[in-house]
Chain A
Amino acid sequence: MKKWLLVSISLLLMFAAVGCSKSESVNSDGKKTITMWVHISDENEEGKVYKKRVEAFNKNYAPDNIKAKIEFIPRSGNGGGYEDKVNAALTTSTLPDVITLDGPNTAAYAKSGVIAPLDEYVKDQEDLLPSIKQQGTYKDKLYAIGVSESSVGIYYNKRMLQEAGVDLNTLPTVDNPWTWDQFLALCKTLKDKYDKPAIDMQLQSKDEMLTYALTPFVWSADGDIISKDGKKAEGVFNKKPTVEALTFIQTMLKEGYTTRTPVKQAFETEKYPMKFSGVWTVTDMKTNYQKVDYGVIPYPVSPKTKKLVSPSGSWQFAMTQTSENKEWAAKLVDWMTNKDSNVELSRTIAALPVRYSSEKVMAKEFSDQMNVFLKQLKETGHARPVTPAYPQVTRAFQQTIDDISFYDQNKDIQKVLDTHAKEMQSAIDKAN
């Protein structure tokens, strides 16, 4: 028995010893080192831009004896890998000075004291687009800044619409969007003509895409997922506006305008005339489906409010609470998201800009399709709910969509909403 005790104690000591070792923040040559972790690979286009920008940072601040070091920790599909490493570093307190984090994680990281507010160090916040500020803000403090933005719109095949008798000049614009009813009418025309679903709305994706792309319909109807202060889901989510928005989505399914089981790449191979997708599809079309002549129209809006709302979101940079060089860590965050970094990244990976200053530059360089996304984002972009209980809130939302798409089993949308609002509420109560 004693032997066992000895073995376990020595093992525990070993763990403790491992936990204590911490990387030094001052180098032997007297240079201060700022370490930064990013979630992508250095072989990827985005990673190459980051690497270049860090080199520029080091060159610029060489007289100050500062050296930034970037470490690439590629994440897997659902965020694993990178986030596992951050979580492990938390338990052993070996976090670097700067980390990247996904938009919806801001609240959880800020509340848990993983990341520190930037307001004291980053003064020029007026230049940031509202959606980026919204995403990085928790309890009125700016914690994180994104370096790229995203949006979703409706891609349409010009030839297929024309052949169905649609005059392309009458299609909606960001200044003059269509209501859900007008959009349903377009879908009917297309479905009657081609006898196939009119649009792939990606309702089969059982992931974050559902929350990201479909919440704007709720906002357009003047509803919300959780209250502005982040404390209430019951009495907010399960209200009439959400019912209206989901009724629209359910109608799309019921009438066969869209489907839960779309043919793969149906829009790209000209089988369906429309696709509801993110700005990244522009790159895909450009590289892989050059033959398709397509345009982009903004979100359809609630007939009651006529308010256009679009999604937004991206990974962001933030400094950690444990950083010993907060001033320089914040400077690095600022640098990685400044106009030059932003323009360079937007040019390389066709991402939307995050600043008014860089947006002006990019608007001239972007294609017509990209400019629809850009204008929609700038004027109507809305960040996802900021709450530490985000993982549960987004899952409850995704399950709501899943439930209502089996409309013969769930005729009563209100009942579905009540169930999931309750789930959200109990998660929020636990997290706050």
Chain B
Amino acid sequence: MSKIGWKENRSVYTFLRPEERTKNKTRWKENVVAYTFLGPALLLLSMFLVIPSIMSVYYSFTDYYLLTPDMRKFVGLDNFINLFQDPIFLKSLVNTLEFVVWVIPLQIGAALGLALLLNKQRKANTFFKVAYFSPVVMSLVVISVLWLYLLNPNEGIINNVLTYFGISAQPFLTSPKQAIFTIVVVSAWQGAGFQMLIFLAGLQNIPGDVYEAAQLDGINKWQRFMYITLPLLKPTSIFIFITTLIGAFKLLVQPMVMTQGGPVNSTMTVVYYIYQTGFTDRMVGYASSIALLFGTIIGLVTITQRKLVKEDED
């Protein structure tokens, strides 16, 4: 789990591939065994992922209205043309990108910081690990409601603390300017524990002798971090970066519970908008077209990212 760099993956792949051509018969047998093992997972995957995905690609070219499923007809690119003239969709796209751009450095930075703090063998560290990880296992809805209380502009603890230190009370989620950043902070707080654990595993995989050798050369702590820890954490970081990025694009629960996309659409995200057009407005065709477009965008981002990383590695 800890070493998920591309190099390792490639070597495993070449190891599995048979060096010589085996006889067809044994190969067939192997295939049967393999597919039997794959079967249940594939069945579930296709039922809940593959088939619905294919269906929604098809729906995105139709005018499917939730209440009249039998009357849907093919409308070509109409949905996509409307999409680019839909101010709320465009706003939700901007909001989502804004969220991603802010949450990624904040969440990964926090996770790395925590991991570095907890990387030494101390008795209290188990307690802190549990403490920092606990928001990850809590339901997002519970966390959102909790923060809603903390952030209440009148009675929330946070504003009480702020006013105690002479800082004026902030509107937080009730202001179109602050709402998205408030959600960024809450999300980073909730998610960082997970990345922290993976960073910790990565840190523990860095061989001690590298540090010992460096110590003989007389480097300081900062150099130690910059030239040894960070480069050796690279495979872990790449994995964390990609998974966090994809997770951040899917932002839904926090705005749904805390702001309902408001004030003035400032926290409307693409996934929330898909939900709203599909289930509240019942325009399944239109919602599918947003999903298809958005999926393509995420796909492109991920591919570009992998390309960049690969070039860097070679």
Contact = CB atoms under 8 A, between A and B. Distances in A.
A112 B174 contact: no
B46 interface: yes
Nearest to A14: B47
Contact count band on A: 20 to 34
Contacts of B281: 391-392, 427
B260 A90 contact: no
Interface of chain B: mostly helix, strand, loop or mixed: loop
A198 B244 CA distance: 46
Given A8-B46, A112-B68, A392-B281, A261 B174 contact: yes
Contact of A11 (B47, B154, B176, B276): B47
A84 B66 CA distance: 10
Contacts of B174: 204, 260-261
Contact of A391 (B47, B68, B282): B282
B67 A108 contact: yes
A380 interface: no
Contacts of B47: 11
Interface in A80-137: 80, 84, 87, 90-91, 108-109, 112-114
Interface stretch (A231-239, A343-351, A355-363, A398-406): A398-406
A422 to B, nearest CB: 10
A80 B68 CA distance: 19
A206 B262 contact: yes
Contact count band on B: 20 to 34
Contacts of B280: 391, 395
A264 B149 CA distance: 11
Interface string B219-252: 0000000000000000000000000000000000
B282 A261 contact: no
A207 interface: yes
B155 interface: yes
20 contacts: A3-B35, A7-B46, A8-B51, A84-B279, A87-B66, A87-B67, A87-B282, A90-B66, A90-B67, A109-B67, A113-B68, A114-B67, A204-B174, A206-B259, A206-B262, A207-B260, A260-B174, A261-B153, A391-B280, A409-B176
Q: Which 3 A-B pairs have the closest CB atoms?
A: A112-B67, A206-B260, A261-B153
Interface of A: 3, 7-8, 11, 80, 84, 87, 90-91, 108-109, 112-114, 204, 206-207, 260-264, 391-392, 395, 399, 402-403, 406, 409, 427, 430
